[in-house]
Structure formats: structure tokens, C-alpha cells
Amino acid sequence: MTAMVTSIGSRQFGRYILFHRKLRLEKEEIAWCRWVLALLENEPLGSNENGPAR
């Protein structure tokens, strides 16, 4: 089935490539959120190593 969809002549080809683009974007979004969470979990609440914002 995948071989048919991945053929540029397939009627579903456009949907297939857009689905995979969306899937990759969502995976990257999840990875970014996990990265931010890791940063937040390692930073004590209220601390700022650069001092107060001006």
C-alpha cells in the first residue's frame, strides 16, 4: 500500500507528503516542549543567573 501512495502519480501522494510533514512538525514540537521542561525542572523557582531584568 505504501508503495502506491509514495508514487508521485498516486491520487493520495499530496496527502501523504503533507501528513508526513505535519507528523514531523508535531514530533519536533514535542521534543522542544521536553527540552523546555528539562530546563525549567533544573532551574530553582525565582532564580535568574543574569540578575534582574532591566
pLDDT in tens, 1-17: 677 888 999 999 999 99
Domain-wise residue ranges, the chain: 2-42
Is the distance from CB of 16 to CB of 9 less than 8 angstroms?
A: no
Between CA 1 and CA 13 the distance in angstroms is: 12
Q: Whose CA is closest to 15, among 3, 25, 6, 24?
A: 6
pTM over 0.95: no
Share of the chain above pLDDT 70, in %: 80
Q: Residue 5 class from Cβ within 10 Å (0-12 exposed, 13-18 middle, 19+ buried)?
A: middle
